[in-house]
């Protein structure tokens, strides 16, 4: 998943101006919509979450990055394609979570950004087990 810092322009013909939506806006919308779904523990791989968690502890560093972690987008003037990497909670049917995420992301992006979502690809990168400690891998290295 690559982060595209590009800006896309769109607007109805005959309108009195142009509305520009940056790729990062669609990325954040998709990320927030995915997180709203029950059964989604986190977005991004374990390593990306660990780096992000450490970065967020430093004042001024990583601000807003957690909203885009695990999300990649391609945005055109009329359409968008989205790639998500998610971690699901153990015990919840993964296909149900993926379907709900896909529907929620499509709805949010189409409603808020006015772009037709042509695809939402989802990679389930991990399952959060009930007995796993969230900070386990980070705190063992530095004490």
Task: Convert the pLDDT of each residue in 39-83 to its tens digit.
Answer: 999 999 865 445 445 444 555 555 455 789 999 999 998 999 999
pLDDT computed for residue 67 by the predictor: 80
Both structure tokens of 43: 């977005």
Q: What are the distances in angstroms from CA 82 to CA 40, 129, 132, 138?
A: 17, 27, 29, 29
Q: Which residue has the tokens 């971690």?
A: 87
| Predicted pLDDT of residue 139 | 47
> Domains in the chain, start-ordered, CATH in brackets?
20-129 (3.30.70.1350)
> Is residue 142 scored above 70 in pLDDT?
no
Instruction: Report pLDDT for 102.
Output: 98
Axis-axis angle for helices 23-35, 94-113 (nearest 10)? 140
What pLDDT was estimated at residue 61?
A: 52
In the prediction, which pLDDT does 132 show?
81
Burial (CB < 10 A; 0-12, 13-18, 19+), residue 15, is: exposed
């Amino acid at each position: 998943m690559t982060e595209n810092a590009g800006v896309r322009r769109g607007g109805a013909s005959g309108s009195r101006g142009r509305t520009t939506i940056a790729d990062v806006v669609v990325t954040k919308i998709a990320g927030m919509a995915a997180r709203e779904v029950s059964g989604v523990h986190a977005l991004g791989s374990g390593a990306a979450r660990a780096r992000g968690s450490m970065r967020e502890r430093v004042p001024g560093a990583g601000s807003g990055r957690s909203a885009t972690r695990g999300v990649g987008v391609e945005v055109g003037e009329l359409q968008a394609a989205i790639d998500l990497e998610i971690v699901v909670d153990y015990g919840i049917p993964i296909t149900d979570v993926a379907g709900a995420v896909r529907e929620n992301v499509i709805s949010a992006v189409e409603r808020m950004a006015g772009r037709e979502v042509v695809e939402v690809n989802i990679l389930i990168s991990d399952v959060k087990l009930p007995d796993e400690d969230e900070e386990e891998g980070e705190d063992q290295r530095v004490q």
